[in-house]
Chain A
Amino acid sequence: MAQAEAVMISMMLSFLFYALAVIWAFSAKTAMLSWLGMVFTGLIAMSIWGVHSITGGAA
């Protein structure tokens, strides 16, 4: 159940991150800054996922 539970938790949290992302997008001083913030956080999230699936696959 551990993985199912992790998936449930992340799905339930996703809406909060979504709302925060929208607020960030609209509060950033310039459109460029707004994009950069999104891309940067996106890249971090993607790399965590990437590292996790590589190590997860090895183990």
Chain B
Amino acid sequence: MSFRHSMTWLHTWSGLVLGWLLYFMFVTGSTGYFDEEILRWMQPEIPLQESSISASEFIETAERRLDQVATNATETYIELPLGRSPFFSIWWHEAATPETGARGLWHNEKLNPNTGEPVITRETEGGEFLYRLHYALHYIPGWLAYALTSLAAMFTLVAIISGVIIHRRIFKDFFSFRRHKQRSWLDLHNLFGVLPLPFHLMITYSGLMLLMFSTMLPVPASSYGVGEGLRAIYDEVFTEHDSRSATGISANSMSTVSLYNDALKRSDGGLINYVAIKHPGDKNAVIEMGVLANEGIEQHKPIHYDGVSGELYDPEEDASKHSSAKSFYDTMEILHEGLFARPLLRWLYFLSGLMGAGMMATGSLLWAVNRRKKHTMSGGGVRGLALVDRLNLGTIVGLPIAIAAYFWANRLLPVDLASRAHWEMNSLFIVWGIALLHPFLRWKKTSLKSLWCEQLMFATMVYAFIPVLNAATSEHHLGKALLQGDWVMAGFDLFMLVLAMCFAIAFNKLRRRIPNPSVENSAAGVKV
């Protein structure tokens, strides 16, 4: 067997074994790039900001509320409705009180941007749930999920490297886009694999790295042993050292609004979307202004002030110096998460992720197509092929249907349902289970292509009606959102329509291809 030949074999089988899990990871991971926007759609109780309100008014309103609820806070955050996050919210951290046994906890309240009153939102995990699925999965313990997703990522890394080796014309393909070439699954697979190749490599490798303290434990254990020593290195690398601790001596803090105005002058036109206070009311208070970066790969370029004197303060002076290994790790993490990405780049991230999903889907389809050709020639057993065919359908179309079900559940489940957020999540898996079973149950009666048509039709419907569902269950219908320039709400609804259109196009293309021996020959000639 030649080197290329053995790599083809490796590529085919490593791709098939974990292809469906990887498809799931690519789809859910991609949704994570819009987690805030999804959460906003899933909490329609939050009203739209009606008039322009100055940041200083927002800060004053938020501080009034914090004075009421966060009296013992060791840290407070005010999030302004700016940039990606449409939320006006406050966060505060209560210190652990050993006497009562209460643990230190973060609390969060979303405020009405018009009145400053807290808004009671439905219980939901929003987009974060979808994002978490791509590495922590669901219903199974974290360590097992990390092992599985890392294994899948490892397979991808191998599949990408072996794919580059078997794909002779990789560089030619990378720089050319052949629109008029006859389309086939292989072409599409190459397109989805090669066009965003740098993204695939980056996301796979950095993903492996982010979980390395779970999966590559023997490496640090060989130097540090297990238990205490291991904890020590983890802390050494990851703990953010609190550069200034509380003194316990109270002091009057500077006015946050005046520091906000000062930071705005220093920010070179950068907007400020959060204000954080560490140790509020203490002599060592630090006030941090979250200036959104206009360039580079950091999301923020925060400006820090000494809370009492109001002088600039550089926390890096006290923090332990970062090693180059840690900087490399941090850079890969930043690239993986893409928090810094502004709209255009964010969409590119999202589309690259979807192309990864497309690469997995077309790869699995390609496996089945090639296998079918072989069977027709040799007349061998088809049991394995039939299984792959059914799982392909239940995963490739079934998963998007299940995600739509998550959105539907968000609006249809009663607001006061006990553990409501859990039922939203369960809905996703219940519906996915049905979609996976559907091809098995109807296998005998229906052809594979009509099964695909049924699910594609269903997917079209569930996505097409999401804007209708939104109009029926909230005050933020598409027309109103468009008129008011509420782009997060409108964008969500519009993108659901785009998805519905994609499924409809796939449905139409496939329906015309339903094999019908009497017309197939003539149709092939007519087909454009």
Contacts and interface: CB of A to CB of B under 8 A. Distances in A.
Contacts of A9: 325
B10 A3 contact: no
B158 A14 contact: no
B219 A10 contact: yes
B219 A19 contact: no
Nearest to A53: B222
Interface residue range, chain B: 20 to 34
Nearest to A14: B216
A15 B208 contact: yes
Contacts, number: 71
A12 B325 CA distance: 9
The prevalent SS among residues of A at the interface is helix
Contacts of B213: 11
Contacts of A15: 154, 157, 205, 208-209, 212, 216
A8 B237 CA distance: 9
B212 A12 contact: yes
Interface in A1-58: 1, 3-12, 14-15, 18-19, 22-23, 26-27, 29, 49
Contact of A3 (B14, B223, B324, B328): B223
Interface residues of A, number: 21
Contacts of A49: 222
B100 interface: no
A1 B216 CA distance: 19
B212 A14 contact: yes
B10 A26 contact: yes
B224 to A, nearest CB: 7
B329 interface: yes
B339 to A, nearest CB: 21
Given A4-B233, A5-B326, A15-B157, A23 B7 contact: yes
Interface of B: 1, 3, 6-7, 9-10, 14, 154, 157-158, 161-162, 205, 208-209, 212-213, 216, 219-220, 222-224, 233, 236-237, 320-321, 323-326, 328-329
7 contacts: A4-B236, A8-B326, A11-B212, A12-B212, A15-B209, A19-B158, A22-B158
Interface of A: 1, 3-12, 14-15, 18-19, 22-23, 26-27, 29, 49
